[in-house]
Amino acid sequence: MSQPTLADTQVMKSKNTVFDSTHSQRVPCECCGNTQFRPILCREDDSLVVRCEHCQLEFVNPLPDLSAMVSDDPNQGYFSQYIFERQKREKSFSKLYHTRLRLIEANKPGKGNLLDLGCGAGFFIKCALDRGWNGHGLEMLPEYVQYAQESLGLHQVQQGSLDDSLPFPPETFDVVTMWDLIEHLRHPLACLEKINRATKPGGLLVIWTPNVKNSIFVKEQWLSYGMKQHIYFFSQNSLKQLLQKTGFKIDYFKTNKAKKGLFSRTDALPFCEENKPKDKLGKILFSAKRDLKNATNPMTYIGPLFDLAGYGFNMFIIASKTNEIA
């Protein structure tokens, strides 16, 4: 384990946190197995983010307990706005899901079995079913499974966790999707190995996750660092290495929404409800003000260039299964 530099120590002291190298040694890098890390920052909850000195993968070390990441009250915490947001912006989310499915279909002719891991209440699966896919979902949180089954009639959604064995026979799925999930997993290597076994030869794994390269300007104030449920922070290169190690090859890569994170700090976290006016005139004025703000924001025009250069806030990856995992 490498010792922190003076600058690293100052970062730790600024958070009143002592860097304990013995803790970090308990969790080797998931990607390369290395045990030499450099501290990046100490978060508000006192968890420590480190960078592997060999493969550059960034992650929280030591790993948090699962109980510390998930609120017992479904109406509180990171997940509390999920149902509200998708009901309120139903058309926008439907358009997003259909766009994603069209891209998947362009890379996988024919519509077969699709598994959405961490599927929430199943809104994406509903769109997949509407497009002719045989959709299934696995979700850890029981309140979302209940909503999917009772409110959306999606009995294809079942409760389960990637920490356990997948409740499906080997080589069942043509496509497996992970929307905003892999950054939450405590052991992504083992999870990807399970996904490999459940995927048909030549099947696709589709991943949407924050892109750590987007932190280039705001550094430790990057939005994704501020979300305590995020454990891993991938770049294209570190995720590519992890996928290769688990029998997948990247066929498609794209970043987007550079504007979201390049200059936005942790005090601008998503899922903050805006006080929008209720009356018709107020709504018109609110929209006009928002459009004017976007039109005069240089990032509206520069952002797409950062996306093309690989600095977007999110990574969209489609990988194909190339090898079996024993």
Please tell me the predicted confidence (pLDDT) of residue 153: 95
The pLDDT tens digits of the residues spanning 242-297 come to 999 999 999 999 998 877 767 665 554 444 445 667 777 877 787 777 777 767 76
Ranges assigned E (strand) in the chain: 37-42, 48-52, 58-60, 113-117, 134-139, 157-159, 173-179, 199-210, 232-233, 248-256, 314-321
From the CB of residue 99, how many other CB atoms can be counted at a distance below 10 Å?
Answer: 11
pTM over 0.85: no
Let me know if 243 is exposed, middle or buried by CB neighbors in 10 A (0-12, 13-18, 19+). Answer: buried
Task: Name residue 248's beta-bridge partners.
Answer: 321
User: Does the structural domain 78-268+300-321 have CATH classification 3.40.350.10?
Assistant: no
The 8-class DSSP code of residue 303 comes to H
Please tell me the predicted confidence (pLDDT) of residue 265: 57
Rounded to an integer, the average pLDDT of 223-241 is: 93
Ranges assigned E (strand) in 169-306: 173-179, 199-210, 232-233, 248-256
Structural domain boundaries of the chain?
A: 6-60, 78-268+300-321
The pLDDT tens digits of the residues spanning 111-169 come to 999 999 999 999 999 999 999 999 999 999 899 999 999 999 999 999 998 888 889 99
The pLDDT tens digits of the residues spanning 26-69 come to 689 999 999 999 999 998 888 899 999 999 999 999 888 766 55
The 8-class DSSP code of residue 66 comes to G
Residue 184's nearest CA partner among 153, 142, 139, 127 is 139
d(C-alpha 18, C-alpha 177), whole Å: 39
Give SS3 for 140.
coil
